[in-house]
Structure 1
């Protein structure tokens, strides 16, 4: 699981690259001076201090935050110690979910290049867990749960437009729903409720403080990740 910490530069790279407006798509350099940001020259931009090597401007997520999130995720996995194959699936999901949280908070989007690998890898690793002892039933349930939760999110987008969940949320729901559904339908409901309650409480606090309006669009991806992780901690 120390690999989760070892890949924090990759997580930072994902945040720096994809935390850009939809019309830009992705960035390859510092916004201030244009110095390239790449994996063959990762420091200091992709390290904990997260500063451009050319001008010193902050790049991507605030200093130390990605690393702190990775440490917290690692601690949760090590303390709860789920079975090895399920642990691998959760670690894979978190490796993508952590940068997705930072991207969604920054630009309110969940890019396909992170959501789809998260879904595919989680689904395949849960398949390994099924083959190595858990059996086919939880894997089929996980598959149905992931697709069902994604469909629910997508339908709200079609019916409610900007007031519903985004299509990116639906794509993230494939992997989150699969992880939750592996342990049962009730945990899927618990995870979704936790996400909704967390997002509602934060929205209420922002409204009361005047930092948001009723018409404001708030990202849901971070709450889906937290709700999923919180529900999983109940069964590990």
Structure 2
């Protein structure tokens, strides 16, 4: 039920700011989900009433979830660390799709991701006898969140959004578990890749200098690369 849940999160939360969360098909008002697995939550992502596409494109959410799970399982981390990364990953997948679609990082996804990540890392630290590692992870998450929140307070719409700051609570903790150099490297990857992508879009005239690109997917990418290189 992981992939239907991820697809439900995308379909429900990929709405413009100020609009209520989606509960049904915008065209025919057929409910999304309900008892059993509906067509909207299947890999085909089609409304069970009119057949319109609902949420993310077919198969992409499922492929992303399976890739994330395989990467975590193959990494060979201690069991509780692997469970933490699995928990974190299943929240990051819908956040990527929602941010790309509507430039939002909903609290209903970022806060559970952070709470579960902090709690599970705390359990991992208790079992392994490494309380200092957990404190470093918490410090990294708070520090990264404050960094992004400060840009919002100082620069308004030109800074990072508060959604990025809330997302950073879990991303900073995940990176911080593996050390401060990994935190710095993950942030560097995020900034470099987002900058390169923006320049590419400018070169092909897909965006203008005044456009604001979603940063959440690049922040998540930086975390994935950072954790992968940390071994």
Q: What TM-score bracket applies, with the shorter chain setting the length? A: over 0.9
- How many Å separate the matches in 2 of 1:23 and 1:49? 28
- How many Å separate the matches in 2 of 1:126 and 1:39? 34
Change (3 A) 1:184 1:37: same
Task: State the 1:31 CA deviation.
Answer: 1.1
Are positions 1:139 and 2:134 aligned together? yes
Indicate which of 213, 217, 221 corresponds to 1:218.
Answer: 213
Are positions 1:92 and 2:92 aligned together? no
TM-score using structure 1 length? 0.96
Are positions 1:167 and 2:162 aligned together? yes
How many aligned residue pairs are there?
231
Task: State the 1:41 CA deviation.
Answer: 4.1
Aligned to 2:67: 72
Query: Is the Cα contact below 8 Å between 1:13 and 1:39 reproduced in 2?
Result: no
Change (3 A) 1:196 1:156: same
Aligned to 2:111: 116
Are positions 1:47 and 2:42 aligned together? yes
Are positions 1:102 and 2:97 aligned together? yes
C-alpha RMSD of matched pairs (Å): 0.9
Q: Which runs of 5+ in 2 are unaligned?
A: none
- How many Å separate the matches in 2 of 1:205 and 1:13? 32
Q: Which runs of 5+ in 1 are unaligned?
A: 1-5
Structure 1 residue ranges (4+ consecutive) displaced by more than 3 angstroms after TM superposition: none
TM-score using structure 2 length? 0.98
Aligned-partner SS, 2:41: coil
- How many Å separate the matches in 2 of 1:99 and 1:231? 20
Task: State the 1:40 CA deviation.
Answer: 2.0
- How many Å separate the matches in 1 of 2:34 and 2:4? 8
